[in-house]
Structure 1
Amino acid sequence: MNIKLNTESGVPIYLQIIEQIKNMVLCGAMKAGDQLPSVRDLAVELRINPNTVARAYRELQHEEVIDSRWGEGNFISDKFSGSATLEKKKIIRESLKNLIGQAENYGLTKTEIKKILSEFFTEHDL
């Protein structure tokens, strides 16, 4: 599994695992029914404590991103795959909110921000 951890980011490792697994589903790298590595295997691969992976998997299960099947393993849930479009929209909205906040911090007015967005959409034929 292609998970990259950044120990200097200040973001807890288990949250990095959660976000990267969600992103793999959202971008199509993983789909409903795909099996995740076992807790132990992923911990060995990432060189972290198995409890950290177990915590990430528990949270993913709670969020219905994965299904845990006793004796079989952990699999990407149909429920999350089906709601991927909503999740993508949520991520885009949050990114736009952050971008607009940054523009306001730079001193731009809402009118100026709207103009920049309008120009961008025109330039990129959106």
Structure 2
Amino acid sequence: MIEFHLDARSGVAPYLQLVHQVRQAMRLGLLFEGDRLPTVKDVAAKVAINPNTVLKAYRELEYEGLVTKKPGVGTFVSSTLSDASLSEHEPLRQELRGWLTRARAAGLDEESIEALFLSTFRTATEEEQ
């Protein structure tokens, strides 16, 4: 089951954060076809947002063909974004684990590590374009 988390400081709309998290879980093979997403009520209570925000995210995923809503039953994953090539990148995963270990050893907390990674990722992406 997916656990949603929202970052109020990200500048990204809450419903889009939910959509991105579902897509990411699909890519990583954490959600498979037929898996049931948490109920709107459960997500809204867990992340303290309006249920309509969760509905908007689920509708977006449905529009994209990634989930199917079954009235009275729930919302289910209807396709996958799993990328088989992700499993082929184990050497990169190991390098990243090493980097994380060094970042922690340097005294960075989880939030600082995430900020450093994201800012570096965004800068590199902008430079490539």
Q: Same fold (TM over 0.5)?
A: yes
Q: State the identity %.
A: 35
- Matching residue within 91, 96, 99 for 2:124: 99
**SS of the residue aligned with 2:69?**
strand
Q: Could you tell me which runs of 5 or more consecutive residues in structure 2 were left unpaired when the two chains were aligned.
A: 87-120
TM-score (norm 1): 0.65
Go from structure 1 to structure 2 and tell me whether the alpha carbon gap of 1:103 and 1:57 turns closer, same or farther (over 3 Å shift).
closer
**What aligned pairs does 1:1-126 form with structure 2 within 5 A after superposition?**
1-77=2-78, 80-81=79-80, 84-85=82-83, 99=124, 101-103=126-128
TM-superposed deviation, 1:41: 1.1
Go from structure 1 to structure 2 and tell me whether the alpha carbon gap of 1:46 and 1:102 turns closer, same or farther (over 3 Å shift).
same
Go from structure 1 to structure 2 and tell me whether the alpha carbon gap of 1:40 and 1:100 turns closer, same or farther (over 3 Å shift).
closer
TM-superposed deviation, 1:99: 3.4
Counterparts of 1:47 and 1:63, CA distance in 2: 25
How many residues in Structure 1 have an aligned counterpart in Structure 2?
Answer: 93
Counterparts of 2:59 and 2:125, CA distance in 1: 34
TM-superposed deviation, 1:18: 0.1
Counterparts of 1:45 and 1:24, CA distance in 2: 18
Please tell me whether Structure 1 or Structure 2 has the larger radius of gyration of its CA atoms: 1
Counterparts of 2:24 and 2:48, CA distance in 1: 21
Where does structure 1 differ by over 6 angstroms across 4 or more consecutive aligned residues? none
Code of the residue aligned with 1:16 in structure 2: it is: Q
TM-superposed deviation, 1:101: 3.6
Counterparts of 1:100 and 1:33, CA distance in 2: 34
**SS of the residue aligned with 1:6?**
coil
Code of the residue aligned with 1:31 in structure 2: it is: F
Counterparts of 2:125 and 2:47, CA distance in 1: 35
